[in-house]
Amino acid sequence: MALKLADYKTPVFADWCPGCGDFGILAALQMALSELQLPHSRVAIFSGIGCHAKTPHFINAYGVHTLHGRSLPFAIGAKLANPDLEVIVVGGDGDGLGIGAGHFVNTGRRNVDMTYLIYDNGVYGLTKGQASPTLRLGLRTKSLPKPNINEGVNPIALALATGYTFIARSYAYDVRHLKETIKKAVRHRGMAVVVIQQPCPTYNNINTKEWYGGEDRTDSVTGKPTPRLYRLEETGFDGVVHSPEEVFSKMVAALTMAQEWGDRIPMGVFYQNEFVPTYQERISKRIPAYLGMPPAKQPIGDPSGRPTTYAKKMLEMLKVTG
């Protein structure tokens, strides 16, 4: 029986602020799961701490709401133990690029086959609007006593530098684009990251829905706003590496596009490279039986509780008498 969108919802009340971008992300994620027809019990959604972190509670699938900045290590542990799981990690910009930055970097190096969605709104919402690592230098959002003294990190460029093999940007209020981007990320063989631009109606009064929509820049002829976000694919940009020789040029192109911000903000796939072996493949090279018999599926004891590990050989190696 086909799974319906409603099957991916829980009755838990979503307590985000009215107008929060998280609602769009949640809807897009639930739609993507439903369109991919992923069974609930195969899906595990991991989150960190912050507004984004409540997401798993609203999705009818295994949901692991972890610690601030630590969602990636939890998810990696679960995925490596049971590679049949479809693991989707959600994180905030402060969560993933501030306190969890070390995990973000090292996750790129591993290319575990899973998906990471970053909810990027430039502020720490739950603690009342402090500057997040993606807020640009000199900006002063509503609750900052002084303008931001740090430069903002560029998550697309950072992901590229650290080895993510699928890097995309989307927008919380463009649910259709986001849903399609999430589906691509989930289908990608390797570590995918989607940076989701998301207004925070309560604390970020600069990068608002109106700002992203360009309502401050109406076309003098048509009178219509000129949105800041545009779609990369509509410009003919193709971030996909089609042969290993293209890796360098595609990275350079992606890095170049990643610099765009302000008046024009690209959305879509910046870079995708499936020629990099996944962590699971790397393990399989060392442990050929890994995918068929991963840690979570190994019989460790017989029904009476006798261990299956045959330790005799290892003990023989240590033997000095007898």
Partner 1 sequence: MAGGPQGSGVDSGANIFARACCYGGLHIYGKREYHSNIKGLHSYFHVRVSRKEVAADVDRVDLLCTFDAESVVRHVWEVSPGGGVICDAGELGTRILDIPTWPAPFLEEFGRILDEKGIKPETVGDLLETVKSSNVRTYAVPYHDLLAEIAREIGEPKLSRLTRMINVLSLGASFGLVSYDKRYIERAIRATFGEKPDIISMNLRALNKAYDYAQERFGDFGFKLEPVPTDEERILLQGTQAVALGKLVGGCRLQTYYPITPAADESEYLEENEIFELDNSPIKGATGSMIVMQAEDEIAAINMASGAALTGTRAATSTSGPGFSLMVEGLGWAGNNEVPVVINYYQRGAPSTGLPTRHGQDDLRFALHASHGEFPRIILCSGDIEECFYDAARAFNYAERYQTPVIHLIDKALANSTKSCRMFDPSSVMLERGQLLSEEEVRGGEYRRFKITESGISPRVALGTPGAVFWNTGDEHDELGHISEEPMMRTRMLDKRMRKLETADREIPAQERVNFFGDADASTVVVSWGSPKGAILEAMQRLRQEVHRIGFLQVRMPHPLPRDHIAEVLGKAKTKIAVEGNYSAQLAGIIREKTGVAMDYYILKWSGRPMSADEVHDALKLAMLGKAPRRQVLTHGS
CB closer to partner 1 out of 164 and 270: 164
Tracing tokens 């971008």 back to the chain, one arrives at 21
268 Ramachandran zone, left/alpha/beta (phi>0; psi -120 to 50): left
Q: At closest approach, how far in Å is the CB of 43 from partner 1?
A: 9
Phi, psi at 218, each rounded to 5°: -80, 145
Give the whole-angstrom CA distance, residue 9 versus residue 199: 23
Nearer to partner 1 (CB atom), residue 109 or residue 142: 109
The answer to whether 14 contacts partner 1 (rule: CB under 8 A) is no
Joined together, the tokens standing for residue 33 give 């799961």
Using CB under 8 A as the binding rule, whether residue 144 contacts partner 1 is answered as no
Helix (H, G, I), strand (E, B) or coil at 228: coil
One residue of 81, 137, 240, 252 binding partner 1 per CB under 8 A: 81
Helix (H, G, I), strand (E, B) or coil at 118: strand
Q: Out of 1, 6, 149, 315, name the contact with partner 1 by CB under 8 A.
A: 315
Site string for partner 1, 26-65 (x = CB under 8 A): -------------xxxx-x-x--x----x-xx--xxxxxx
Q: Which of the 8 DSSP states describes residue 60?
A: S
CB of 256 to partner 1, least distance (A): 29
Residues 288-307 that bind partner 1 (CB under 8 A): 289-290, 293, 295-296, 298-307
- Report DSSP letters for 74-87, one per residue: HHHHHHHH-TTSEE
Q: Does 4 bind partner 1 (CB under 8 A)?
A: no
Report yes or no: 279 and 287 within 8 Å, Cβ to Cβ. Answer: no
Residue 230 sits at the vertex; the CA angle it makes with 228 and 235, to the nearest 5 degrees, is: 140
Q: How far, in Å, CA of 89 to CA of 118, rounded?
A: 9
Query: Which one, 114 or 172, has the nearer CB to partner 1?
Result: 114
Residues that bind partner 1 (CB under 8 A): 10, 12, 39-42, 44, 46, 49, 54, 56-57, 60-67, 70, 72-82, 84-85, 102-103, 105-106, 283, 286-287, 289-290, 293, 295-296, 298-315, 318-322
